[in-house]
Amino acid sequence: MKISLTKKRLIFVIITFIGIGIGLLSMWNTLVQGQVVFGSSDEVPWNILIVAYVFLALMASGMCLVSTFGHALGFQRFGVISKRSLYLAISVLLPALLVLAMDLGRIDRVFYFITSPNLTAPMWWMGATYGIYVIVLLVEFFAVQTKNHRIIKVTSYITLCGAIAATSILGGIFAVVIQRPLWFGGATSVFFVLSALITGIAMLLIATIVTYKVVQQEMSYKLKEVLDYLGKALAILLAVALGFHAWRLITLFYVSSADFQLVLNGEYSILFWGGVISLGLIIPILLLMKNRTGYKLVLAGVFVLIGMFVDKYITIIGGQIVQMSGEVASYSATLTEWGIIIGGIAASVFIYMLGVYKFSLDDPGDKHSNVENLTPSSQKVG
Which chain residues interact with another protein by CB under 8 A?
Answer: 33-36, 38, 40, 42-43, 45-46, 103-107, 109-110, 112-113, 116-118, 120-124, 127, 173, 176-180, 320, 323-326
* Residue 109 CB coordination number (10 Å): 11
Q: Give whichever of 192 and 229 is closer to another protein, judged by the CB atom.
A: 192
Burial category of 174 from C-beta neighbours within 10 Å (exposed 0-12, middle 13-18, buried 19 and up): buried
Alpha-carbon dihedral 308, 196, 320, 240, rounded to 10 degrees = 70
Q: Give whichever of 173 and 353 is closer to another protein, judged by the CB atom.
A: 173
Question: Of 148, 181, 313, 178, which is closest to residue 260 (Cα–Cα)?
Answer: 181
Shortest CB 174 distance to another protein, Å: 8
Shortest CB 340 distance to another protein, Å: 16
CA 61 to chain centroid:
7
Q: Give whichever of 127 and 301 is closer to another protein, judged by the CB atom.
A: 127
Shortest CB 117 distance to another protein, Å: 7
Question: Of 164, 194, 197, 189, which is closest to residue 85 (Cα–Cα)?
Answer: 197
Q: Which residues of 110-148 are buried (b: 16+ CB within 10 A; e: fewer)?
A: eeeeeeeeeeeebebbbbbbbeebbebbebbbebbeeee
Q: Give whichever of 171 and 294 is closer to another protein, judged by the CB atom.
A: 171
Shortest CB 341 distance to another protein, Å: 18
Neighbouring C-alpha atoms within 13 Å toward the C-beta of 153: 5
* Cα distances (Å, whole numbers) of residue 258 to 170, 187, 246, 377: 25, 20, 18, 53
Shortest CB 216 distance to another protein, Å: 46
Shortest CB 52 distance to another protein, Å: 16
Q: Give whichever of 107 and 289 is closer to another protein, judged by the CB atom.
A: 107
Shortest CB 123 distance to another protein, Å: 4
Q: Give whichever of 42 and 372 is closer to another protein, judged by the CB atom.
A: 42
Q: Give whichever of 40 and 68 is closer to another protein, judged by the CB atom.
A: 40
